[in-house]
Amino acid sequence: MDTASLAAQQQELARRVILSDQFGTLRRIAGCDVSLRKSRKAADGAACIAVFSFPELVRLEMAVVRGRVEFPYIPGFLSFRELPLLSEAFAQLRQRPDLLILDGQGLAHPRRFGLACHAGVALDIPTIGCAKSLLCGEWKPFALRRGNRSPLMLDGEKVGYAVCTRDGVKPLFVSPGHRVSRDTAVEIVLRCATRYRVPEPIRCAHAESRRAVGQT
């Protein structure tokens, strides 16, 4: 696997990322997730995009695509592994969402081009990265109260936030993907995480993608 050329591709595409709010009224927000039978080699996979009304968070539509994933698991290159199936699922939607929240990194990435950035640029849609674990950067611990946050710093740049979405529960790592600012990304995630740690659109997409590959 020529990771050097892939990294160069990420760095080139990262120049297209827009880190300001460039969207209209949000009426439909979608969560995106990919599940695999095997995590570190070619595997059967399923991508799900679950579309919800906003701010009511009523599920409106869902697209699920199954397929073979040949790209191996390599930290920092997740988008090359997951984006093909996600793009297929996106093409099946009857109504275009106004914004996507992806289970992965956005700007909080060594080359500032995580899955959410790649999806945003490729699909020309506002995106947010919402990851359950830290890929890179540093943040300062804070009181785990819903809404509290700490800047996520990487090489002196604020690339996102560690955000508490539920009292007493460890934070999520939220970063903008494309056409969304850092602070707006956090506010949208908080408005979508009404009952659980993870925003409802991603929770739904994750459950359905796991079901599609037989991991209930």
Helices (H), the chain: 3-13, 78-92, 115-123, 182-192, 200-212
pLDDT at residue 114, rounded to an integer: 97
Q: In the chain, pLDDT over 90 holds for what percent of residues?
A: 89
Question: 48, 33 in Cβ contact below 8 A?
Answer: yes
Q: Is 86 helix (H, G, I), strand (E, B) or coil?
A: helix
52 CA to centre of own chain? 15
pLDDT in the model for residue 2: 87
Q: Which residues contact 9 (CB under 8 A, 6 or more apart)?
A: none
What are the structural domains of the chain? 3-212 (3.30.2170.10)
Query: Which residue blocks in 93-181 are alpha helix, DSSP H?
Result: 115-123
pLDDT at 43: 81
Which has the closest alpha carbon to 124: 11, 18, 12, 2?
18
pLDDT tens across 157-199, in order?
999 999 999 999 999 999 999 999 999 999 999 999 999 999 9
Q: Is the pTM of this model over 0.85?
A: yes
Asked whether the beta carbons of 11 and 113 are under 8 A apart, the reply is: yes
Mean pLDDT score of the chain:
95
Closest C-alpha among 171, 158, 156 to residue 106: 158
pLDDT at 216: 61
Q: How many helices (H) and strands (E) does the chain have?
A: 5, 8
Give 36-60 pLDDT, tens digit per residue.
886 555 588 999 999 999 999 999 9
